[in-house]
Amino acid sequence: MSTAKSTPRERRLTRVERRLIASKNRLSSPWASGIALVIAMLWTVPTIGLLVTSFRGNRRQITSSGWWEALAPANWGSFSLVNYETALGAQNKLGDYFTNSLVVTLPSVLIPITLALLAAYAFAWTEFRGRNILFIAIFSLQVVPIQVTMIPLLTQYVNWGLEGTFWVLWLSHAMFGLPLAIFLLHNFMREIPRELIEAARVDGAGHVQVFLRVVMPLMTPAIASFAIFQFLWVWNDLLVALAFAGNTPEVAPLTARLSDMVGSRGSAWHLLSAGAFISMVVPVAVFLALQRFFVRGLLAGSVKG
Amino acid sequence: MFRSTRTLAALAAFVCLAGLTACGSTPTTDGSSTPAPAGSTDDACASYAQYGDLAGKKVTVYATFIDQEGTEYESSWAQFAECTGAEIAYEGSRDFEAQLPVRVEAGAAPDIAILPQPGLLRTMVATGKVKPAPDTVAANVDQYWSASWKAYGTVDGTFYAAPLGASAKSFVWYSPAMFADAGYTVPTTWDELTALTEQIAADGVAKPWCVGIESGTGTGWPATDWLEDVVLRFAGGENYDKWISHEIPFNDPSILESLNEMGKLIHDDRYVNAGIGDIQSIAAEPWTDAGYPIVDGQCYLHRAASFYQTNWTTLDESLVVGEDGDVWAFPLPGLTADSKPVIGGGDFVAAFDDRPEVQAFQAFLASPEWANAKATATPQGWVTANSGLDASLLKSPMDQLAFSVLSDPGVEFRFDGSDLMPSEVGAGSFWKEMTAYFAQDKSAADVLAAIEATWPK
Amino acid sequence: MELFLHPESPGEKLLLMVIAIAIFVAVTGAILGLLSLPKRAPRWLTPLGFLAPAVVAVCFGLVYPAAVTVGNSFKDRTGQEFVGLDNYAQAFTEGQFLIVLRNSVLWVVLVPLLATAMGLLYAALVDRTRFEKTAKTLMFLPMAISMVGASIIWKFVYDNKVGLLSQAYVWVASLFGQEVTAPQWLMNAPANTAFLIVVMVWIQAGFAMTVLSAAIKAIPDEINEAALLDGLSQWQLFRTITIPMIRPSIVVVLTTVAMTSLKAFDVVRTMTGGNFDTSVIANEFYTQSFTNQNKGMGAALAVLLFVIIIPVIVYNVRQLRKSEEVRR
């Protein structure tokens, strides 16, 4: 799709020029590659430590020698899957909790994104008095700690008879995600060239049509990047789930089960290293899957004036 | 701009309000109708007949016990549920102490909450939502517990919460084999303990003590237990009580003396911190791991509660806890051989509802039948001060030792002081300053003065 | 009704989820449909229709609790008696408070700057390379790990015995012929706050990188091509084209990370428990609200969080005004 779109543009350059650009665009300077590599290492090595740890079975080994020592070939024999076996063990019913996480997460991502797109459009492309003040008020709400909402919201949920259900989790996550979603999507929404919107409006399209046909397709990378984070926050959430739904197998997410594995007195935390990786698989898969929506040049073709 | 658009901000405010007012009135829809098994009339159920037929009734229970421990509790009342037909819906959470007040205030209180310390009971009673214990519970507590235990569950003269589990904290863990090899004997007085400490340091094989007080957000609490133990010995029980109720200041000279006595043992580079590091390392070493150097032969003594026994096997499943095993514990000695001062803790059953099934369950939890069922369900690491417990049902020797201490009338028992102090101190400055005592080498006098300054007026 | 409130099997739960999504889609569709119906609708109808759902949601979920909190901050610990400014006065006179305030300011300044700088640099460096996807995943990983996981990860960096940093320190010292033991990194103020900030930067850089990468990709190719044909070096291109073009996104990222790091207490709480002079306002807020059950004081500290962030909001307002003028 994107190749078809970019063909007319490429014709404007000669083949030599294109090759020149391609080479320049690559990470060609050894300095650049070096820096990127160092950053990548800094960001990865701590996690590798956890990964290695998760395969070191005995809690005692983990706290008596550094994880790098286990990498020496002589010590390979000490690697085992026992932490994973314990974590995935049948009595933990991770499958059930996994379903709960999934059921909690999908609507909790979809709802705030949709509502935020609508709101961001109104902030970016319609005029009304008090627009800026309302926008600032909304994004400032990011600073409200979720903890202060617990008593007021739970009181209402109890009044509605909905505490302990998925409904309040969906609602809560959607509400908490909105300020950032609107802030972030508004930023990308404003980058859409004015000419595109105005051209459509002149052709007689209403705001709803412009929103659906012009804006939405252009917002794909932004939606993807926010979706990743909303997914992540909801998936890794423990606080909202415990506060509004409780730690029961009916609704509690995977994170609740994993954090419980350390036991009442917090002594079995070596299981958490395995648990952390089990819980990480899904967000990483989502990140990889959504990456292909980070397409270059969706907005290209009409340069902003 | 356009005349009609000026209303938008106002309209936004209006919908906002409308959204709120819509909150008030929606009827509760709780159509739960869980079919319960009809009460069977087996012999096993005979002792449950007193609780009546509770078929179709549901009791929600909220507590701190999770994972394996939570399962043990659930099986301890499984028989009750089967015989009476009641459904016991249990929920455990590590976040219990933060969540319970939220739920209570929001109107989502559980029927029964198992509170890990009496301080929380006081906070909860202050909300006005806790129901006084029914007579059946009081009768059980009067019969099977000492008066002091009943007092911990009493607030302003009203008895609310029956004790449930208990722990004895004044133990010193050691390796019987290492003691035998070195020719040491278990000390029976504080002087002997001090002498043993010096002896071990002089022999130079390993340092005497290993200590660790890191506990995540609760870092410092093991050190407060240490100090309480020493206060009970050097300042005496009477001063201990005054200290906790703040009749004497936190930095009373008798407390300063106690902290200095404690410092002689574990704030001295010659005596700590075996196999781990220097004095500062005490604040960094997780309490869950701190005793382990004993197994490696790197230290001889580790003061920790009876429930520390599960930590040994978490670290290494092959370890045997017992008098002839790899590790064992002796009671932290008093000043004299015949004094038996003991610090302990316990949890308490508070009810937020007084429906008959809730009260029946409360009475059951206060009975010897429950204690026996719990002992049967627990492999190790649980004990109670319920004198009706059949001690032979306790499976681990450490639990039996702890029970014998808790049920010994000759013991001078005191409840863990930090659990009875206001949380600003008992779960705040006391922990923090004891940590600073080791981590930042803060002087004993400064530590106590800093804690005193935080006592709520 | 039972299915709607308390689904039991995984199948029922998934079904309920699908139903919920369907209801949501239907309602949204209905709103959009209604908005596009009238031929000569008043101008305010569209913004109202587009904004109302979001505004209602944040009013209920955030504004109303925030208002309750502001009210509580003037009340006593049980939320009953009005005590005026006592809580604020007490907060400011607490012995440790200046240190806590200093740490919070350090967090709210350093974390956004460092995380954004690293994220931006990395996003630009790996853009259009063959390894882009893998490289970006690596920086994203920390975000995907739950807080509990992250705290263990950094235990294995800072631990005095089994921490990588401690080991590296010992190794380096031995290169110079020194026999040393590693210090307790998290205990010695003020460096320990810096070590905690590193953890937060490590977590947040993935966010900055992802958003800024999306912004970089939104720069039209022609602009880059033209600049490169003009003979600009990669570095010049980055400085004179890329950064100005994605400036609004940088502001958004800085703002978001600032607010996140101001509210964050899990790093401090799990790694030092607020000991050793590392506490931040958010941690004190949590302690007062939940450990001490002091509602008034907890609320006052939550309000202080908002006060600290005001400069960031003012900066955003000015940016918004500026870009508004450009657009006209």
pLDDT in tens, C237-278: 888 888 998 998 999 999 999 999 998 888 888 888 888 889
Say yes or no: B144 and B265 in one domain.
Answer: no
B37, part of any domain:
no
B254, part of any domain:
yes
How confident is the model over B118-171, as pLDDT tens digits?
989 998 999 899 999 999 999 999 999 999 999 999 999 999 999 999 999 999
- Cα separation, B19 vs B15, in Å, equals 6
Best of B217, B221, B429 to disrupt the C interface by mutation (most C CBs within 10 Å)? Answer: B217
Identify the CA nearest to C187 among candidates C261, C265, C274.
C274
Q: A63: left (phi > 0), else alpha (psi -120 to 50), else beta?
A: alpha
ipTM: 0.90
The token duo for C197 is: 């900030």
Domain ranges (residues) in chain C: 85-151+190-327
Say yes or no: B326 and B356 in one domain.
Answer: no
CATH topology of domain A91-291: MetI-like fold (1.10.3720)
Instruction: Sort out which chain C residues have CB atoms less than 8 A from A141's CB and list them.
Output: 58, 62-63, 66
The mean pLDDT of C291-306, rounded to a whole number, is 90
B18, part of any domain:
no
Q: Which of B1-5, B109-113, B414-418 has the lowest mean pLDDT?
A: B1-5
Contact B16 C55 (CB under 8 A): yes
- Look at B3 and A184; give whichever has higher pLDDT: A184
Kindly state whether B13 is in contact with chain A, defined as any CB-CB distance less than 8 angstroms: no
- Look up the CATH number of the domain holding residue B253: 3.40.190.10
Contact A264 B288 (CB under 8 A): no
Say yes or no: B306 and B198 in one domain.
Answer: yes
Per the CB < 8 A criterion, the answer to whether B388 and B368 are in contact is yes
Identify the CA nearest to B296 among candidates B268, B274, B325.
B274
| Among C residues 108-167, those touching chain B with beta carbons less than 8 Å apart | 159-161
- pLDDT > 70: percent of chain B: 91
How confident is the model over A4-63, as pLDDT tens digits?
444 444 445 565 655 555 555 544 577 888 899 999 999 999 999 988 988 887 777 787
pLDDT band of A80, cuts 50, 70, 90 = confident
B204, part of any domain:
yes
Count of Cβ atoms closer than 10 Å to residue A85 Cβ = 11
pLDDT at B65: 93
- Cα separation, A43 vs C205, in Å, equals 9
The mean pLDDT of C80-105, rounded to a whole number, is 88
Tell me which of B409, B426, B441 is where a domain ends.
Answer: B409
Distance of CA A243 to the CA centre of its chain: 22
Say yes or no: B195 and B318 in one domain.
Answer: yes
Contact C292 B32 (CB under 8 A): no
Instruction: Sort out which chain B residues have CB atoms less than 8 A from A242's CB and list them.
Output: 93, 95, 99
- Could you give the count of Cα atoms lying within 13 Å of B228 in the half-sphere of its Cβ? 32
Q: Is the dihedral of CA A168, A174, A175, A176 positive or negative?
A: positive
pLDDT for B439 beyond 80 = yes
Kindly state whether C78 is in contact with chain B, defined as any CB-CB distance less than 8 angstroms: yes
* φ, ψ dihedrals at B410, nearest 5°: -80, -10
CA trace torsion A170, A171, A176, A177 (10° rounding): 60
When the pLDDT of each residue in chain B is averaged and rounded to a whole number, the result is: 88
The mean pLDDT of C1-30, rounded to a whole number, is 90
Contact C273 B216 (CB under 8 A): yes
Say yes or no: B59 and B136 in one domain.
Answer: yes
pLDDT band of B5, cuts 50, 70, 90 = very low
Q: Is residue A106 within a helix (H) or strand (E), and if so which, with residue range?
A: helix A94-125
Amino acid at A115: L
Identify the CA nearest to C280 among candidates C98, C158, C92.
C98
pLDDT for A125 beyond 70 = yes
Say yes or no: B277 and B337 in one domain.
Answer: yes
pLDDT for C32 beyond 80 = yes
Query: Nearest Cβ partner of C273 from B217, B276, B424?
Result: B217
B10, part of any domain:
no
The mean pLDDT of C225-237, rounded to a whole number, is 83
The 3-state secondary structure of chain C, one letter per residue: CHHHHCCCCHHHHHHHHHHHHHHHHHHHHHHHHHHHCCCCCCCCHHHHHHHHHHHHHHHHHHHHHHHHHHHHCCECCCCCCECCCHHHHHHHHCCCHHHHHHHHHHHHHHHHHHHHHHHHHHHHHHCCCCCHHHHHHHHHHHHHCCHHHHHHHHHHHHCCCCCHHHHHHHHHHHHCCCCCCCCCCCCCCCHHHHHHHHHHHHHHHHHHHHHHHHHHHCCCHHHHHHHHHCCCCHHHHHHHHHHHHCHHHHHHHHHHHHHHHHHCCHHHHHHCCCCCCCCCHHHHHHHHHHHCCCHHHHHHHHHHHHHHHHHHHHHHHHHHHHHHHHHC
Contact B15 C52 (CB under 8 A): yes
3-state secondary structure at position B134: coil
Angle at alpha carbon of residue B189, lines to B184 and B190, rounded to 5°? 95
> Percentages helix, strand, coil for chain B, rounded to the nearest 5?
50, 15, 35
Q: Could you list the residue range(s) of the whole structural domain that residue B403 is in?
A: 55-168+345-409
Identify the CA nearest to C32 among candidates A216, B303, B42, B227.
A216
Say yes or no: B111 and B62 in one domain.
Answer: yes
pLDDT band of C1, cuts 50, 70, 90 = low
Query: Nearest Cβ partner of B1 from A129, A151, A268?
Result: A129
- pLDDT > 70: percent of chain A: 87
Say yes or no: B339 and B383 in one domain.
Answer: no
- Cα separation, A115 vs A96, in Å, equals 30
Tell me which of B374, B391, B409 is where a domain ends.
Answer: B409
When the pLDDT of each residue in chain C is averaged and rounded to a whole number, the result is: 89
Question: What is the nearest CA distance from B273 to chain A, expressed in angstroms?
Answer: 15
Q: Touching A: which chains, 3+ CB pairs < 8 A?
A: B, C
- Cα separation, A105 vs B148, in Å, equals 50
Q: Is the dihedral of CA A237, A239, A240, A246 positive or negative?
A: positive
Say yes or no: B154 and B196 in one domain.
Answer: no
Say yes or no: B178 and B268 in one domain.
Answer: yes
Comma-separated ranges of CATH 1.10.3720.10 domains in chain A: 91-291
Of all residues in chain C, the one with the smallest CA distance to B280 is C184
Per the CB < 8 A criterion, the answer to whether C93 and C251 are in contact is no
Contact C287 B428 (CB under 8 A): yes
Q: pTM of the full predicted structure?
A: 0.87
- Look at B22 and C37; give whichever has higher pLDDT: C37
Contact C60 B23 (CB under 8 A): yes
Find residue A103's DSSP bridge partners: none
- Cα separation, B361 vs A292, in Å, equals 57
B91, part of any domain:
yes
**What angle, rounded to 10 degrees, do the helices at C191-217 and C147-158 form?**
130
Report whether CATH 1.10.3720.10 matches the domain C85-151+190-327.
yes
B236, part of any domain:
yes
How confident is the model over A196-222, as pLDDT tens digits?
888 888 888 888 989 998 899 888 888
How confident is the model over B36-56, as pLDDT tens digits?
444 445 577 888 989 989 999
B28, part of any domain:
no
Sequence-distant (≥ 6) Cβ neighbours of residue B271 within 8 angstroms: B197, B201, B207, B208, B209, B265
Full DSSP string of B350-383: EES---HHHHHHHHHHTSHHHHHHHHHH-SSS-B
Say yes or no: B133 and B225 in one domain.
Answer: no
Say yes or no: B383 and B281 in one domain.
Answer: no
pLDDT at B417: 94
